Structure 1
């Protein structure tokens, strides 16, 4: 859709980590489509660090929903209402002329509406948020990673070739510090630390248990990885995952638990330097794809994409899949149980072969 060129754009994607990662391709796409426009992003605290100081962002606006909710429940209703009005003023004073609500929910749509922007485009808007938009475009839940966000760029007037050229997932740049420095100092000898430059990242955890692979599969996979590659495995996750990860790593050879030990940005940097990434449908797994690290994704109750660069997607596509938040299996999760460690090892071997074939040296 061709309209007047916007001068001030707001992207709204409040959560979750994986969606922010996949939506980050909007930044280079919008910059190429509207080179004179300033771009801002409204998000929640958990994902703000991924976006701050991004070279293509004018500002990151943070809505601390959890803090507001806590204060409301504690009886500070008047204070929260004052904060709502102040936040609305902040949005209106920014003079956005195009708002892209990529979350499409009421909690995101209300801020698009409160911004006062004349053009408000909702991506698959529902929960009543569609009535707060000036336009709504359907979510293109296609096979390619970030299909829905790519579809939004096309809706704004780009063609397939433009999207292919400019849609590149990108987050905040790294710091100069070593994200593994504390880990090396506390868990490794000086000799081990000096040799610790190559590793495999495992991402077993996410917010929904029905997306988790089985522990006995992870343990067997770690044994096979050690046998084949002789590389350490680093298990990543958030603070709530730490106890589970400690129990899991204790049963793995040459594995270390970093769950809850690294910040989100540090995890992002750790992933960027990995030999491989193996993970379930969680945000840090998608970071492996963003960094073009060979990645194996394990999907069961969800399948957000089936095609991604340098990636093998393991998904059995059972008649009940994807069940998303409403499993019908009574907790057996056969869609994940039947994905075996052998299948992951084979997927990694296929990725290795593809990388070798693409290497200039493979012709000699």
Structure 2
């Protein structure tokens, strides 16, 4: 395989030679490292689908950490490799993790799609003929990889993951496939999810309450669903009580993964912070309105035609009116 780049990537001399000795058909085993949460697992799915197509004879192993196993795309790989970061609430030792890493057999190609301390450990100690990554810090190229692609906060991460295939000569697909059955019928239902992985990403609950009231009154024929997460900061009973006078507003408790994907996929729009629920809705091909103020919106904005990111150029928290106008625009367009 030729490495298809001029200045937009990096490769060692050994990496160029190793790739040159391979063909897509000759690759027999691949390990993909994704030590990340549910949203990042959604972003990984198109890569795995295209990897299966480009390397038709390869078995695919996915390496995850036990603290982030929910949503792992087990349906798209042949084997799951788990590194235990914690057991019964206690951090595991370096040597116990190393033992688990060494359980991996040698692979033809290793893809590190996490760039975390734990994924670096797997990249360093796992055996592979060709190691490919996308580290932010360039010194990691020489330490861990044979080939790396550039990583940018201004390009959707899903596309950057696919760059790791494009550099090997994989064709660029016209349509991104997440491997989920897409609902052809969208119900008149708007979902609001107020949670996030950390409090700094959360739009104020009071703002959500005002937004939902305005939307419920402006769109009385729609269902307005407050989706509850499993975390303590993702409960919605207090907001539901504030909106109890609105008959078209109700609560939905967290669902198992497949049921959640189906429910999101049959909904018209999802409104939320920068969180995994938004990536799940994107994978289900449901329009989203994402509220951003602490993270870069472009990293997870794959299709401007149906997905909207609400943010201010100065990084301040968007107002209710900002989000309301954006949401109205999306709902009226659908």
Structure 1 and Structure 2 fold alike (TM over 0.5): yes
Q: Secondary structure at the match of 1:118?
A: strand
How far off is 1:126 after superposition?
4.2
- Higher helix proportion: 1
- Higher strand proportion: 2
How far off is 1:48 after superposition?
2.9
Q: Secondary structure at the match of 2:323?
A: helix
- Residue of structure 2 aligned with 1:308, choices 288, 298, 302: 302
2:172 corresponds to 1:163: yes
Match of 1:141 in 2: 153
- Residue of structure 1 aligned with 2:265, choices 269, 272, 288: 272
Q: How does 1:96-111 map to 2 (within 5 A)?
A: 96-111=107-122
Match of 2:213 in 1: 223
2:129 corresponds to 1:118: yes
Distance 1:35 1:17, change over 3 A: same
2:33 corresponds to 1:12: yes
C-alpha contact 1:28 1:166 (8 A) present in aligned 2: no
Q: How does 1:177-196 map to 2 (within 5 A)?
A: none
1:352 and 1:257 map into 2 onto residues whose CA distance is 20
- Residue of structure 2 aligned with 1:251, choices 242, 247, 251: 242
Distance 1:167 1:353, change over 3 A: same
1:141 and 1:148 map into 2 onto residues whose CA distance is 10
- Residue of structure 1 aligned with 2:233, choices 236, 241, 244: 241
1:274 and 1:36 map into 2 onto residues whose CA distance is 38
Provide, for residues 55-75 of structure 1, a one-character-per-residue CA deviation record: whole Å limited to 9, x for no partner: x31122222212287164xxx
User: RMSD of the TM alignment (CA)?
Assistant: 2.8
How far off is 1:21 after superposition?
1.5
Provide, for residues 182-221 of structure 1, a one-character-per-residue CA deviation record: whole Å limited to 9, x for no partner: xxxxxxxxxxxxxxx7532112111222211112210111
5+ residue gaps in structure 2? Answer: 5-18
Match of 2:13 in 1: none
2:285 corresponds to 1:292: yes
C-alpha contact 1:236 1:257 (8 A) present in aligned 2: yes
C-alpha contact 1:277 1:293 (8 A) present in aligned 2: yes
How far off is 1:96 after superposition?
1.6
Match of 2:53 in 1: 32
C-alpha contact 1:10 1:42 (8 A) present in aligned 2: yes
Distance 1:351 1:170, change over 3 A: same
C-alpha contact 2:190 2:269 (8 A) present in aligned 1: yes
How far off is 1:223 after superposition?
0.7
1:69 and 1:114 map into 2 onto residues whose CA distance is 25
1:152 and 1:141 map into 2 onto residues whose CA distance is 16
Q: How many residues align?
A: 300
C-alpha contact 2:28 2:58 (8 A) present in aligned 1: yes
C-alpha contact 2:61 2:81 (8 A) present in aligned 1: yes
Q: Secondary structure at the match of 2:191?
A: strand
C-alpha contact 2:115 2:135 (8 A) present in aligned 1: yes
How far off is 1:24 after superposition?
2.0
C-alpha contact 1:18 1:283 (8 A) present in aligned 2: yes
Q: Secondary structure at the match of 2:286?
A: coil
1:106 and 1:200 map into 2 onto residues whose CA distance is 38
- Residue of structure 2 aligned with 1:62, choices 82, 85, 93: 82
C-alpha contact 1:139 1:151 (8 A) present in aligned 2: no
5+ residue gaps in structure 1? Answer: 175-196, 322-334, 356-364
Match of 1:325 in 2: none
1:42 and 1:211 map into 2 onto residues whose CA distance is 27
- TM-score normalised per structure 2: 0.79
- TM-score normalised per structure 1: 0.73
